[in-house]
Amino acid sequence: MIRAERMSAAFLELVRIDSLSREEGKIAERLVRELKALGSEVYVDDAGSKVGGETGNIIARFPGGRTGEPVLLSAHMDTVVPGRGIKPIREPDRIRTDGTTILGADDKSGIAIILEVLTVLNEREIPHPPVEVVFTICEEAGLIGAKHLDIRSLRSRHGLVLDSCPADSLFTRGPAADKLEFTVHGHAAHAGVCPEEGLNAIRIAAEAIARMRLGRIDAETTANLGLIEGGSAVNIVPDRVVIRGEARSHDEAKLAAQSSHMAECFETAARAHRLMKDGREIQARVEGKIERDYPRMTLGDDAPVVQWIKAAAATLGVSIACRKTGGGCDANVFNGHGLNVANLGTGMREIHTVKEHLLLREFEQTARVVLEMLRAV
């Protein structure tokens, strides 16, 4: 019943609409029109005004042909850079980028699947439970569209985010993440005339980083420092440097321990640097900020959506396994508010790179599974 060529054509049109984070206005306009044409109740929330974007999250409701608990289907509208002027290339088994931009399968493949499933349900008049659709903004900017969504307004408590790679994977476990920022304060001095009167903030930061556990910490935990900025000129001992990073873990205690370890490395390095000038002691110091970026995603095998997907896959004779991921997605936010939402793969590959592509067989399989799930729930 899924019309693969129609779905692929819709995907090709969607990826040609530029929609970087906070610039999702044009694609939102199109999606609102299509959702209304399918007979849904549609509204756009105020998340865009809160994050400085062109539009908010789209929420659409389809009544269905039978009573039952509503089911959530979600994907995000924004893409990463380089994402302007995408020129997709269709091949027999895939759609790929031309090598100058990303493709945008992350996550317009999810959007295209949802639209095709809704279209089939509508044109075939297939009885199904109420469906609630959420297309978010700014997922790639830190899940901030979902974070600004009023979850209390949603009627569904179970559902799917379509935003991951292999179609044979249902991601039911994802890590919590902390966002980290450390500002090292040293003391400025002329680097050639009196360097001994300065405290080099970059050096202090380097000493902290050198003793820090980073990368793969264990099977459940990772950590990274990804941004650093500071200094004003090569002939000035830098008095300030800012380092930003993250820590993630499937285990809350391990996450707390890793974030604390990273903070302590900076504190220890700063304590080791002081000087006397004009009869007073100048001590290097650190300002640290640790904030929870998003919560864990943890669904058991007995979660309704997991059972629904397993049953749909069995009916269709395809294999889908529950897996864990080291990444975060909107499902983390939904689960943090008490919903049970898993992340199903769409067939995208090499996302966030100019080699990104979408495997059409997997793309179609996911659409068939989602359709069967809604038909059978």
For 175-212, list the strands marked E by DSSP: 176-185, 189-190
Out of 24, 45, 107, 139, the active site residue is: 139
Strand partners, 95: 90, 358
**In terms of DSSP H, where are the helices of 177-251?**
201-210
| Beta pairing partners, 176 | 249
Of the residues 23, 78, 116, 364, which is catalytic?
78
Q: Answer whether 297's CB lies under 8 Å from 335's CB.
A: yes
**DSSP bridge partners of 289:** 181
Euclidean distance between CA atoms 376 and 129, whole angstroms: 9
User: In degrees rounded to 5, what are phi and psi of residue 97?
Assistant: -80, 160
Q: Which of 169, 175, 143 shows the shortest CA–CA distance to 298?
A: 175
Residues 208, 306 contacting (CB under 8 angstroms):
no
DSSP β-bridge partners for residue 298: 173
- Quote the tokens at residue 154: 């949603």
Round the CA-based radius of gyration of the chain to a whole number and report it.
Answer: 24
Annotated catalytic, 29?
Answer: no
Question: Does 45 participate in catalysis according to the annotation?
Answer: no
For the stretch 286-290, contacts whose Cβ atoms lie closer than 8 Å and that sit 24 or more positions apart, written own/partner, are: 286/182, 286/183, 286/184, 286/185, 287/182, 287/183, 287/185, 288/180, 288/181, 288/182, 288/183, 288/263, 289/180, 289/181, 289/182, 290/178, 290/179, 290/180, 290/259, 290/263
Catalytic sites, residue numbers: 78, 139
